Chain A
């Protein structure tokens, strides 16, 4: 993993570590800003709401500063991941993003069916009967376990309403 491969391209571990440290420092700055807005001094009932997170923010920025410095000094020049691998990762992240984004409108069941079917067809190249079995079977089992037996309501969309579930 740490060896530098010649025929594969991708972002280096060092670059990612530097970016990561900067991103975390930015997060720390946001925390500090928010704390200042909430008040970091003493009020009538002792330390005010921003008091504790303010120092947390300081710690975040300081430790990312050190991590950033470490990454620049002796960062691992090996690959973080190959582009192909990152494409694999994105091929999960993007559909999952669409899936969770669609859920408030379609409900959980329809979105899950389409998501499972897409995943199996696109990445697994399964035959349609097989896909149908899993993509319909899983939500049905979920419905029985969660909503029927353990009485946990799950998000529903227009189709479930139409079916009267």
Chain B
């Protein structure tokens, strides 16, 4: 068991006092990000990325991934107490969490949510520990054609699995690829798509896009809706926690199912949001008291939270082992790796053992720390939500500006961030998904490089993508994913419309 030895080394790294401090700091910042509107996991991590420039890569990734866990935990607090999902993946948690809070059972709901989050994450981390090294060693044999096929599969799954119209997903994704292409071409060294603007020489940085699209865009959406918080009281004492824990084991089946859904949806880039909805939907259909879902059923909190956290964690599996992030936040973490001078992908497991296993060990510890922090500090975080939006909003806008500036110390980037913000608001209102756009900006150069290298090898023939069993099967999987919604639509048109659950 070489992995086990590596994992123990990882724990030794993660348990260094500085790293533990960074872990707690990351969790607290993450919960704040999850609680505040307009600061999500992805742009929260993007804004705080510059803080890690002076740290060692291992401490840096521990801090950033802990911010991510914190954001995943934090989303549940606002959903349950205020009926406001702080994050898209906690929308499904409001369905039963908020009614529970209204019935005075906020403590139970929060305990159930946090505990399920922890269970989901733990399941996904164990999966990562076991599977990631295997995937990575397998992926070491990949040539450019296989690499491109993996990107192809990742992007096709977006089109097939997202709930937005497929052609809008494609349009958004292709815009991302186009933005990624701007600037210096990495293969020929030629400039392209800059139209003579020197500001565009280095292209668009996806961190700016993330901060603009998610951060500023979200603030604008919140402004439009006009926000008012009215919330329940989030008091948790040890008695409630223990009582809720006693009741949770009987939902083991729901939990296990949600873990599996979460892991699957997290590894494919569908992400935490659809995973939580799907898990909630299935639990509602299968559960004995399914008809009570939506009225404050604790199982209705367990299912989406477990799946969301499992998906959020599992999204790091393809990022670590293949260099393909499973979610926008994972994409930001991947961007961080590049900034710290690490090459994401299978070689990480060979060349940067300490880094990889330190990160994996920190996932175990970070989630445990996270559980303790949120269980003890809920009232503090809930109080932050009572700060009026007209104070929070300018502070978040300033933070976004700082984050955008400090990526390259460029004030042009700050202007760009605002432009991305307005575009993000419009795209979101018109139902274009933002996640594929961001992922395409991140992966555009790499996908293009793999594509061109494969074509170079084959002398321009697309046949290279079907030249051996491995690459063909990945490509075929990709095509199935691409046409998945068309297949489903065709299927449902053949049948009489079924009642929507």
- B56 within 8 Å of A (CB atoms): no
Cross-chain contact B170 with A59 (CB below 8 angstroms):
yes
Contact of B192 among A49, A88, A93, A138 (CB under 8 A): A49
Cross-chain contact A53 with B193 (CB below 8 angstroms):
yes
In the assembled complex, which residues on chain A have CB atoms less than 8 Å from the CB atom of B219? 92
Q: Give Cα distance in the complex from A37 to B100, angstroms.
A: 61
Q: Give Cα distance in the complex from A150 to B397, angstroms.
A: 20
In the assembled complex, which residues on chain A have CB atoms less than 8 Å from the CB atom of B224? 81, 85-86, 88-89
How many of B's residues come within 8 Å of A, CB to CB? 63
- A164 within 8 Å of B (CB atoms): no
Contact of B171 among A64, A104, A154 (CB under 8 A): A64
In the assembled complex, which residues on chain A have CB atoms less than 8 Å from the CB atom of B414? 100, 103
CB of B159, distance to nearest CB on chain A (Å): 10
Given that A38-B193, A46-B455, A63-B171 are known contacts, is A115 also in contact with B427, CB under 8 Å in the complex? no
- A8 within 8 Å of B (CB atoms): no
- A129 within 8 Å of B (CB atoms): no
A44 — nearest CB in chain B belongs to which residue?
B188
One digit per residue, 1 when the CB lies within 8 angstroms of any chain B CB and 0 when it does not, for chain A 104-117 equals 10001000100110
* 8 Å CB interface, A64-118 against B: 64, 66-67, 70, 80-81, 85-86, 88-89, 91-93, 96-97, 99-101, 103-104, 108, 112, 115-116, 118
One digit per residue, 1 when the CB lies within 8 angstroms of any chain B CB and 0 when it does not, for chain A 36-61 equals 01110011011111111100110110
**Segment touching A, from B81-89, B292-300, B388-396:** B388-396
Q: Give Cα distance in the complex from A31 to B216, angstroms.
A: 25
How many of A's residues come within 8 Å of B, CB to CB? 72
CB of B124, distance to nearest CB on chain A (Å): 30
- A140 within 8 Å of B (CB atoms): no
One digit per residue, 1 when the CB lies within 8 angstroms of any chain A CB and 0 when it does not, for chain B 213-228 equals 0001001100111100
In the assembled complex, which residues on chain B have CB atoms less than 8 Å from the CB atom of A56? 174, 177-178, 181
Cross-chain contact B171 with A16 (CB below 8 angstroms):
no
In the assembled complex, which residues on chain A have CB atoms less than 8 Å from the CB atom of B395? 116, 134, 138
Extra 11 A-B pairs, beta carbons < 8 Å, given A63-B170, A67-B171: A20-B432, A49-B188, A50-B192, A85-B226, A91-B223, A100-B401, A100-B414, A103-B405, A120-B391, A138-B395, A151-B53
